[in-house]
Chain A
Amino acid sequence: MAKKITDNISWVGKVDWELKMFHGNELSTRRGSSYNSYLLRGASKTVLLDTVWGPYDREFVSRLRQEIDLKKIDAVVMQHNESDHSGALVELMRAIPGTPIYCTAKGEAILRGHYHQDWNYVNVKTGDKLDLGGGESLTFIEAPMLHWPDTMFSYYDGCGGVLFSNDGFGQHYASENLFNDEVPEGEMMREAEKYFANILGPFCPMVTRKVKEILAMNLPLKLICPSHGVIWRRNPEQIVEKYLAWADAYAENQVTIVYDTMWNSTRLMAEAIARGIRSAAPEITVKLFNAAKFDKNNILTEVFHSRALLIGSPTINNGYSFAIAGLLEMVKGLKLKKKIGASFGSYGWSGEGVKLLNEHLAAAGFALADEGIRVQWVPDADALAQCEEYGRAFAAKLA
């Protein structure tokens, strides 16, 4: 069912309350998501912006038919051509095969690469306009790597100014409501941050550049309509400001301790280090996560949120644990800036885990605080005291 946003803009997407994982198993979506598609009716032209994920293609097209005679759609604007937005395009184009598809040149290449169809592509660049009649238009703004090479935003100068931003400013957050002012702010903002950390995190320099470029245009802005989650209606500037902050080596006064453990020795170390940090610097938030038991994307979001990461693993077969290896690979991909790292772990005989973790942290761009700390077998009271002392010294380095 279409939902009315303004007199001439309708939401025609799909709310997916069932979605638990996205990008295969790469990204958890604990609060579901939505694939937002927008129908914009100008005085003389009607435009559809983006579609929905493939599994919902028939549902999408049949609901769209209830909203509009498909032949009245003058153009489809594909702002980003990943399957969650382009999946239903095949079904739609079956009904209206000649309709022009406005997208970047990279967007055309990606659509061709996915669906192998010779549709009526119209390539657009930053500043190109689609005249909607009545003196209004849709202006395209290329936004490469936010988060794919093809990404673009579209700005509608009617309704007081509407920015369609595709994945930018999005949240994997299912809601029957349309707007940010209708949902609990805390849980929605956590999803917005998780989305940023996991999807846009690797592209912070491009985020900063693009956001500043858009701010410099001084466009009136009433609504920001992303392709996932709710629309920014109350104070849409807030998410723009957040993006500037998140993209600029963001860090709260938090230390995140991520560990794995087989027989609890490394866990005991983690807890002792946490006590040490807290006793030296009670103002620092310390959080502990067992990487094998907790959601990897939530852990990544906590790391993104932190000044420092302490990573712990027992030595296993001259290496470290499966969960820690996976997490470090993901941390590296985020290209985090200006974060401090250190390693710890229990071992039995060879004990190379900590050294290898240090190398991984350094390769992921962390400034190593020190050599890290190792304990042989199960820590006794002395070893735990050393871990606490290590924590205090670590906190001192953050001061």
Chain B
Amino acid sequence: MKKYTCDVCGYEYDPANGDPDNGIAPGTAFEDLPVDWVCPVCGVGKDEFSPAE
């Protein structure tokens, strides 16, 4: 599964870790994140993320 980086703040979403503080279990692919999921650091939406290099 691919990692994604927030274009605004550089936070990296790693599917292996998920985002447990916000109810996202480890192993959740970026594509499967809920549409209202936001960057846990800066708060922008999924559309401001790009696949990590």
Residues of A within 8 A of B (CB): 106, 142, 144-145, 149, 203, 205-206, 365
Is B52 among interface residues, defined by CB-CB distance under 8 A? no
Chain A-chain B contacts (Cβ-Cβ < 8 Å), number? 22
Specify which chain B residues have a CB less than 8 angstroms from the CB of A203 in the assembled complex. 41
A149 to B11, alpha carbons, bound, how many Å?
Answer: 11
B41 touches A145 (CB 8 A): yes
Most central of A149, A203, A206 by chain B CB within 10 Å: A149
- In the complex with contacts A203-B41, A206-B41, A145-B21 CB distance below 8 A: no
B8 touching A144, Cβ below 8 Å: yes
Verify if B16 is at the interface (C-beta below 8 Å from A).
Answer: no
Residues of B within 8 Å of A205, CB to CB, are 11, 40-41
Inter-chain CA distance A374–B10, complex, in Å, is 45
Residue of B nearest to A210 (CB): B10
Chain A residue contacts of B42, Cβ below 8 A:
145, 149
Separation of A203 and B10 alpha carbons in the complex (Å): 12
Near A by CB (< 8 A), chain B positions 1-49 give 8-11, 21, 40-42
Complex Cα distance, B41 from A203, in Å, reads 6
Q: Which residue of B lies closest to A204 (CB)?
A: B41
Known contacts A203-B41, A205-B41, A206-B41; A149/B21 CB under 8 A: no
A365 to B10, CA, bound (A): 23
Give the residues in chain A near B10, CB-CB below 8 Å. 142, 144-145, 206
Sorted nearest first, the 3 A-B pairs with minimum C-beta distance are A145-B9, A144-B10, A144-B9
Which of A142, A144, A365 contacts B21, CB < 8 Å? A365
Q: How far does the Cβ of B12 sit from chain A's closest Cβ, in whole Å?
A: 10
Contacting pair B21 A206 (CB below 8 A): no
In Å, the complex CA distance between A142 and B11 comes to 13
Inter-chain CA distance A299–B48, complex, in Å, is: 35
Given contacts A142-B10, A205-B11, 14 further A-B contacts (CB under 8 A): A106-B8, A144-B8, A144-B10, A145-B10, A145-B11, A145-B41, A145-B42, A149-B9, A149-B42, A205-B40, A205-B41, A206-B10, A206-B41, A365-B21
A106 to B8, CA, bound (A): 8
User: A206 vs B43: C-alpha distance in the bound complex, in angstroms?
Assistant: 14
Nearest CB in chain B: distance from A392 CB, A: 31
C-alpha gap A142/B41 in the complex (Å):
16
B11: chain A residues at CB < 8 Å are 145, 205-206
Q: Please list 19 pairs of residues, one from A and one from B, whose beta carbons are closer than 8 Å in the complex, sorted by A's number.
A: A106-B8, A142-B10, A144-B8, A144-B9, A144-B10, A145-B10, A145-B11, A145-B41, A145-B42, A149-B8, A149-B9, A149-B42, A203-B41, A205-B11, A205-B40, A206-B9, A206-B10, A206-B11, A365-B21
| Nearest opposing residue in chain B for A205, CB measure | B41
Please report the C-alpha to C-alpha distance between residue A311 and residue B9 in the assembled complex, in whole angstroms. 33
Q: Which residue of A lies closest to B44 (CB)?
A: A149
The smallest beta-carbon distance between A382 and chain B, in angstroms, is 41
Q: How far is the CA of A365 from the CA of B20 in the complex (A)?
A: 12
Across-interface contacts of B41 in A (CB, < 8 A): 145, 203, 205-206
Q: How far is the CA of A365 from the CA of B9 in the complex (A)?
A: 22
In Å, the complex CA distance between A275 and B10 comes to 46
- Among A142, A145, A205, A365, residue most surrounded by chain B Cβ atoms (within 10 Å): A145
Distance of B45 from chain A, by nearest CB (Å):
15
Within the assembled complex, what's the spacing in Å between the Cα atoms of A25 and B39?
27
Q: How far does the Cβ of A184 sit from chain B's closest Cβ, in whole Å?
A: 35
Query: B2 to nearest A CB, angstroms?
Result: 20
Report the bound CA distance from A144 to B42 in whole Å. 10
Find the residue from A142, A203, A365 having the highest chain B CB count within 10 A: A203
- Closest B residue to A203 by beta carbon equals B41
Chain B residues with Cβ below 8 Å from A106 are 8
Chain B nearest Cβ from A151, distance in angstroms = 10
Kindly name the residue among B10, B11, B40 whose own CB sees the greatest number of chain A CB atoms within 10 A. Answer: B10
- Chain B residues within 8 Å of A149, by CB: 8-9, 42
The interface residues of chain A lying within 8 Å CB-to-CB of B9 are 144-145, 149, 206
